[in-house]
Amino acid sequence: MDQTRSPHLMKPEDFLQQLHPTPTQKCTIGCPILDRLLNGGIPCNSITELVAESGCGKTQISLQLLLSAQLPTSLGGLSGSSLYLFSESPFPIRRLVQLSSAFPTLNNPLEKILTHPLHSAHHLFDVLSELDSLLLSGEFSSDPPIKLLVIDSIAALFRYEFENNARDLKQRSGLFFRISSKLKEQARRFGLAVVVINQVVDVVDSSDGLRIGNWTYLYSSERKVCAALGLSWANCVNTRLFLTRHEERIGQEVIGDDHCVRTQTRRFIRVAFAPHLPDSYCEFVISREKVFGLER
């Protein structure tokens, strides 16, 4: 943690860091199988993006992270509080309460989760710029200090402000880098694990699609999808994890004249790109109490 890091007082030699042969600190996702996929969990000091269409489980996983971050570091947590910045819909408080029952050792976990609404991308930048004062003495100061930041969702923040023309897209792109740069600076300064949620867009059927990461597109709910916000934003995150869902046919029933196909929802989390992870995936399940991975 480097709270004294002020651009005016630091000398170039201060940016030299000793490399210790210990892995980067991570925040457990709350399941050892999912943690194994991620080599320990969500890393601190960088941006991890969760991409998925609605209903895949990204909010569920984020909520579980808001809780697991509070676990002591000896159990894979960050011994910290969590901050949830959200741009859409009301906060899923009921679901959070349900998930918190899987963390019986936590004392008043809801008190250690701060939430704050975001109105626009510029608003996010302003909040990030003031994060130091907010964290140290303002609205976000808490005991223990905040160690996990979740932004839900980045795509929604950019949805209404920009038109689909070259000039607006260029401006939008400039803002991506501005936000990402500030976000990484603050993550580094306060040792935060940062999770940014992104949505998907349909891939127009083109054989010249641009491949970013371990594939060009994935199927989710029978749709060909890729992450929203394009190549520019992809350059702004360190790790991209993609969640998908599929309805799998598991049987057939005949009821009177009707043929009913029985299906099961299967969910997968896959690494699109990460500086420390190979191309790998894991199936996961969302139950009443937990989000957990399945052994292969």
Partner 1 sequence: MELALLSMSAWEMLNEEESLGRITTSCSELDDILGGGISCKEVTEIGGVPGIGKTQLGIQLAVNVQIPMDYGGLQGKAIYIDTEGSFMVERALQIAEACFEDMREYHGFLKRDLQACQVNMQPKDFLENIFYFRVCSYTEQIAVVNYLEKFISEHKDVKVVIIDSVTFHFRQDFDDMALRTRLLGGMALKLMKLAKKFTLAVILLNQVTTKYTDGQYQLALALGDSWSHACTNRVILYWNCNERYAYIDKSPSVRSAAAPYSVTGRGIRSSVSNSKRVKMM
In the complex, which residues of this chain contact partner 1 (CB under 8 A)?
A: 5, 7, 10, 12-13, 15-24, 39, 43, 45-47, 171, 173-175, 177-178, 181, 184-185, 187-189, 208, 210-214, 231-232, 234-235, 237-238, 240, 272-273, 275-276, 278
Between CA 261 and CA 249 the distance in angstroms is 7
Nearer to partner 1, 5 or 266 (CB): 5
Cβ atoms of residues 240 and 270 within 8 Å: no
Nearer to partner 1, 88 or 185 (CB): 185
Between CA 292 and CA 284 the distance in angstroms is 6
Query: In the complex, what is the shortest distance from the CB of residue 232 to partner 1, in angstroms, rounded to a whole number?
Result: 7
Between CA 126 and CA 260 the distance in angstroms is 53
Query: In the complex, what is the shortest distance from the CB of residue 157 to partner 1, in angstroms, rounded to a whole number?
Result: 16
Between CA 285 and CA 291 the distance in angstroms is 6
Nearer to partner 1, 3 or 171 (CB): 171
Query: In the complex, what is the shortest distance from the CB of residue 250 to partner 1, in angstroms, rounded to a whole number?
Result: 31
Nearer to partner 1, 107 or 206 (CB): 206
Nearer to partner 1, 99 or 195 (CB): 195
Contacts 24+ apart (CB under 8 A), 287-291: 288/98, 289/98, 289/99, 289/101, 289/102, 290/30, 290/31, 290/64, 290/99, 290/102, 291/29, 291/30, 291/31, 291/34, 291/57, 291/60, 291/61, 291/64, 291/99
Query: In the complex, what is the shortest distance from the CB of residue 279 to partner 1, in angstroms, rounded to a whole number?
Result: 9
Query: In the complex, what is the shortest distance from the CB of residue 273 to partner 1, in angstroms, rounded to a whole number?
Result: 3
Give the CA distances from residue 274 to residues 148, 215, 243, in Å, rounded to whole numbers and listed in that order.
Answer: 19, 13, 15
Nearer to partner 1, 183 or 291 (CB): 183
Query: In the complex, what is the shortest distance from the CB of residue 172 to partner 1, in angstroms, rounded to a whole number?
Result: 10
Nearer to partner 1, 103 or 217 (CB): 217
Separation of CA 232 from chain center:
18
Which residues, in sequence order, are CB contacts of 91 under 8 Å at separation 6+? 84, 115
Query: In the complex, what is the shortest distance from the CB of residue 75 to partner 1, in angstroms, rounded to a whole number?
Result: 20
Instruction: Give φ, ψ of 107 to 5 degrees.
Output: -95, 115
